A and B are shown apart, each in its own frame.
Chain A
Amino acid sequence: MRTAIPKSALVLALLAAAALPAFAAGAEDDYKAAYAAAEAANKEAAKLRNQWTTTASTLAAAKKAAEAGEFDKATASAKEAEALAKASIFQATSEKTRWRDMEIR
């Protein structure tokens, strides 16, 4: 039994979540840039038919923090969302060929 799956999924999730902000300057502009980047990445994931629910919820958290004027927090969330979206893109791209390894034949 390949029980490695949930574990590796967890690793992936943790690593993605670890993409926390290094230098949140606190400016609204930083947030806007980070949010736009995250949104763009998530759009690309949508094209690949592989968005993650966590990307959407992290984006929502970023927006909420920004509305409350907490731009450090908002930027951090936006960057996390971007990392999540990029991980989903990577997943979709690599699975283009890898899915066959799972196939029953």
Chain B
Amino acid sequence: MTDVGFSATRRLILQGAGAVALIGLGNLPFPALAAANDKYPDEAFKAKSEADAIKALYGKSPEPSDKVKMDAPEIAENGAVVPISVTTTLADVTSIAFLVSENPVALVASYKIPAGTLPNVANRIKMAKTSNVIVVVEAGGKLYSANKEVKVTVGGCGG
């Protein structure tokens, strides 16, 4: 895609993302959202390893904390749908991220927690194979993490 095409797309989307969707401008790789909201952590979602993803997301590394409680199954019923949730007693939480170390892209989801929203999130994620699931909680400007291995016998990433 050329630069011209890119900025034209940007303008279009800024004028009305909904309209773009309707006329099916589709198939643009990644810039669409960057235009709609420049805070999407594009680089972090391209990183292969969890360390690189965390670095891209926060620029520093977390320390394990037993105040981060992850609820995940021992054996996923199917890697396509693994319910994982997290709660924490840490104060001033500003974001929570979920990573799967063996996935082709480690970062799965990153949630921004504004003041007034409780630091607990549940979601369903894909796991390609048996892997460590890592939850990173950003609280008071520091990073804390919890780890758990989830066994996957039916992979959720095809094949």
Task: Report A-B touching, CB under 8 Å.
Answer: no
- Residues of chain B at the chain A interface (Cβ within 8 Å): none
